[in-house]
Structure 1
Amino acid sequence: MLATVTGCTVVGIEGRLVDVEVYLSAQLPSFDIVGLPDTAVREARDRVRAAVKNSGFSFPQQRIIVNLAPADLKKEGPQLDLALAVGILKASGQLFLSEVPLAVLGELALDGTLRPVRGVLSMVMAAREAGFRLVLVPLENAAEARLVGGVQVLGASSLSEALEIVTGEKEPPPVPQQKENPAPPQADFGQVKGQEGAKRALEVAAAGGHSVLMCGPPGSGKTMLARCVPSILPPLSLEESLETTKIFSAAGLLKAAATRISRRPFRSPHHTVTAAALCGGGRYPRPGEVSLAHNGVLFLDELPEFRRETLEVLRQPLEEGNVTVARLQATYTYPANFMLLASMNPCPCGMLSDPAVECACSEWQVRRYRQKISGPLLDRMDLFVDVMRLCYDEVSGKGDGEPSKNIARRVSQARDLQRQRFAQSEISCNAQMGTKELQVFCQLDAAGRDILRHAFSRLHLSARAYDRILKVARTVADLDGETRILPRHLAEAIGYRQAETSPRLAMTRA
């Protein structure tokens, strides 16, 4: 007997349909799975056998051959368990299904219970694109699956219940109510004393999605400033929310009770993070921190403490908005369109150029510390901010700064202008503009060209730095509600780039 059931798997962060072909022959009992299964798929033989028996069905005492098509696609994870069980019962004549196209996915426990799996959002999207209008998933994944419109989602808590639902013997249980992924309380700029220049720079960065490098002595507030940035970012649109949720689902980071991420992610990996953990990869490739920060913020605290080879993987995502991980059997491309925030001390002790405390580092130590960050990576930063030590009156003052809700209002208005500007393209903010968009939306008058010409020669800027100054100037103009880039907007953008040449931020190009 031959039976075919459609299952699903995840490749990278994309869902792929898998035809589970089950053939029973009158030979000595055995159970073989072919079609590039990984360890989790091969071990499904024992899980499926126990689940079928403990659900009140008989396991066929015949030779069972399962082919997972397409055969050249590596199959990973336990989400094919349910499709294997349904295929075996169908091939053995214990289950009769209608011809309605049905995709099934889920992990089986030994007692027949259905357990949730990762990547449900991606797999249901793939089923919908392939024309399936009926999908059977574990009950705990049903709310997540229902985020995909145009598909009827059936949730079941066990193998026996799943079979009763697909045969029409039982009505599917109600799907749990969709919830948003809870987020911790956000820090507020109103709690930050002083540092008005840094706050303005972060406002510009949030308005245009620009990358920022903050440099200053220990305790000047760099980390707190960075953690306040999510409080001024605009909320995710529905499309962005689904895209972000899809990545977290594929990485297995969605909580069981939550389905949709509505706040922009804020990722802050430790400086011991590996290159694979940062950009994605591993034996079974998973999205890295740059992809988990997609549509949000990636914060790298104490940037020179990261390994140089780890930081170099940031070049591609900062330039292209995605990261490609090449492996022997496949190549995976993950979205990685994020806002990079980084902080650092000017030297190992942090006191270089501090007027109050003398630096204890030698010239060799300072040079070695700064060489951990390459020139090409620095050239991809949009804003350089010098965060100075606070004086006593600023620290002890009672007055609060401007609250985040006021800053967020201005940022949201600037982002609305950008959405209207780029409505006919895939660009969502000024930082993503290419050469074509710069020529159209960043035109300068004669005064502006003179200012930029002088800055280009005096600061020895690269072509990439030239483009990034124009992008930042466009964002400053958007915050002012101006359609044209005026000289004052350009001067502010150059000032953020000029800080790169200050004693604190001047880097040894490597």
Structure 2
Amino acid sequence: MINSRIRSFAFAGIEARPVWVEVQISSGLPAFLIVGLPDKAVAEARERVRASLTSMGMALPAKRIVINLVPADIPKEGSHFDLPIALALLCAMEVLPYEEVARFAALGELSLDGRLNPVAGVLSASIEASALSLGLICPAMQAQEALCGGDIAILGAPTLLALINHFTGLQALTPPVFSEMEPVPADKPLPDLSEIKGMETGRRALEIAAAGGHSILLSGPPGAGKSMLAARLPSLLPDLTQRESLDVSRIYSAAGLLKDGRPVRRPPFRDPHHSATLPALVGGGNKARPGEISLADHGVLFLDELPEFSRSALEALRQPLETGRVSIARAALHVTYPARFQLIAAMNPCRCGYLGDASKECRKAPRCGEDYMARLSGPLLDRIDIHVAMQPFVPLDYLSGPSGESSAPVAQRVAIARQRQYARQDGVKNAQATLEQMPVTDAAQTLAQKVATRFRFSARGYTRMLRVARTIADLAGETEIQSPHIAEAATFRLRSGQD
């Protein structure tokens, strides 16, 4: 006989799977058992629940208590099962009215004194609870996060005792009210383009990449300004749309990285070190957590010193760059994470970095450059929309040159170009647009075909050239792709070494 049961959730990636927490209290030797494929954190819930009840002057009955997590064939991980287990037990002990509690799903971690601690996945749980027509009980500090998941009843409680008082009518919890919060303030102001002098080609390429969401590779000698230029891309990007914000916030919620329950408003910028492992970059590990490419969803992934990353990690980027998602397969788990990121990469032309400079290049030139470029496969480079060869840094030119245009006017042009794309392509950036969504004049079409034939572009390369040209046209306010747009896009498509 089941005495009570409460809804909770098990997580697979960013998806929340409904789970019943069933409680049976029966005669027999005193015991407290948790079954249903619990991991170590779930099994330890019995001690946290027991201690929480003891701190309130309550005790479990001296009977056989069995907690069953249904369905039993899905692995249950995480401390968020503490709260539903405690509530189901209190209902079975007739401390709480079961009919009232059963209208809610619950998740939360218990401290030994009964406080509720934050857990990962509240936003996804709220979305699934809305689909089940249930309310959600969660820690008080995550109530705002839960409200982003749908128009459902939310109970944000600071302690287990506060929940008991609420359901027994002693003291009602105040329902949280959604407030349009400001984005989490940055630790420091974003770097501005005005700090860059010269680099006109690089600045133009960065503006195009920002406007269309295109991937970009900056190549040049040490100190040419590659990293400096890449660091200013976030200052050109517009805020996330409401849909994009929800998508990104779900990923950060699942990873436990959502600060103060605030939804992510700005495009994320991730810059892992080149020593990052394959699971760190694409996701995985024991619990198949999201990797850097998923944490950069609808944002920027900056890979400095691109050839220094492991070959396996770089090759793993090929599929996500094309499909916008990554699937992590394990023997007992299969998880798919979104990965619609904008790649910006930087590299030296060779290991010493001075290939082409007779006064500085090593004695292995040009073989050293060929060997260094061989670390990057052709299919990976083919998936990068824009290739920019940076010129060597000249200190006198930098000191005497005028300051460049600041980020604000460039960001305004980028925002206008994005609006044109979203209106034309139903919220899709040019970097993911199809050929049917890119009107082109006959002259431009002929030129594009000649360029593709002359330089032997692949079908992917041809499409990506047209996408860049479409962004250039959007920045110019043109409704159709014209020949000058194709010509400029072709110069960014050609890689070093192509004649």
TM-score, normalised to structure 2, is 0.95
Query: Matched residues in 1 for 2:447 and 2:333: separation?
Result: 49
Query: Matched residues in 2 for 1:439 and 1:237: separation?
Result: 24
Moved more, 380-389 or 454-463: 454-463
Query: Matched residues in 1 for 2:440 and 2:372: separation?
Result: 39
Tell whether 2:132 aligns with 1:130: yes
Match of 1:474 among 467, 470, 476: 470
Instruction: Please name the residue that 1:507 is paired with.
Output: none
Tell whether 2:287 aligns with 1:291: no
Q: Describe the SS at the equivalent of 1:343.
A: strand
Match of 2:257 among 231, 253, 259: 253
Deviations 1:7-62 (A, max 9, x none): 22322111222110001110111111111111111111111111122122221211
Instruction: Please name the residue that 2:307 is paired with.
Output: 304
Q: Answer yes or no: is the 8 Å Cα contact 1:183–1:263 preserved in 2.
A: no
Tell whether 2:455 aligns with 1:459: yes
Q: Answer yes or no: is the 8 Å Cα contact 1:97–1:167 preserved in 2.
A: no
Q: CA deviation at 1:174?
A: 6.7
Q: Which 5+ residue runs of structure 1 have no aligned equivalent?
A: 504-510
Residue 436 of structure 2 aligns with an amino acid whose one-letter code is Q
Deviations 1:188-246 (A, max 9, x none): 11111110101101111111111000000000110010010010111111111121111
Q: Describe the SS at the equivalent of 2:450.
A: helix
Query: Matched residues in 1 for 2:368 and 2:401: separation?
Result: 39
Instruction: Please name the residue that 1:340 is paired with.
Output: 343
Query: Matched residues in 2 for 1:449 and 1:200: separation?
Result: 23
Residue 432 of structure 1 aligns with an amino acid whose one-letter code is Q
Query: Matched residues in 1 for 2:401 and 2:62: separation?
Result: 79
Q: Percent identity?
A: 46
Instruction: Please name the residue that 1:501 is paired with.
Output: 497
Deviations 1:466-491 (A, max 9, x none): 11111111111111111111100000
Instruction: Please name the residue that 1:115 is paired with.
Output: 117
Instruction: Please name the residue that 1:212 is paired with.
Output: 216
Q: Answer yes or no: is the 8 Å Cα contact 1:477–1:489 preserved in 2.
A: yes
Instruction: Please name the residue that 1:9 is paired with.
Output: 10
Give the length in aligned residue pairs: 494
Instruction: Please name the residue that 1:199 is paired with.
Output: 203
Specify whether residues 53 and 296 from structure 1 end up closer, same or farther in structure 2 by C-alpha distance, changes over 3 A only: same
Instruction: Please name the residue that 2:432 is paired with.
Output: 432
Q: CA deviation at 1:360?
A: 4.3
Q: CA deviation at 1:363?
A: 4.5
Matches within 5 A, 1:91-490: 91-99=92-100, 101-132=103-134, 134-173=135-174, 175=176, 178=181, 180-184=183-187, 185-255=189-259, 257-354=260-357, 357-397=360-400, 399-423=402-426, 428-433=428-433, 437-445=434-442, 447-490=443-486
Q: Which 5+ residue runs of structure 2 have no aligned equivalent?
A: none
Q: How large is the Cα RMSD of the aligned pairs?
A: 1.8
Query: Matched residues in 1 for 2:240 and 2:159: separation?
Result: 35
Q: Describe the SS at the equivalent of 2:141.
A: helix
Q: Answer yes or no: is the 8 Å Cα contact 1:347–1:370 preserved in 2.
A: yes
Query: Matched residues in 2 for 1:172 and 1:180: separation?
Result: 27
Q: Answer yes or no: is the 8 Å Cα contact 1:211–1:381 preserved in 2.
A: yes
Specify whether residues 294 and 382 from structure 1 end up closer, same or farther in structure 2 by C-alpha distance, changes over 3 A only: same
Residue 490 of structure 1 aligns with an amino acid whose one-letter code is I
Specify whether residues 289 and 431 from structure 1 end up closer, same or farther in structure 2 by C-alpha distance, changes over 3 A only: same
Residue 61 of structure 1 aligns with an amino acid whose one-letter code is A
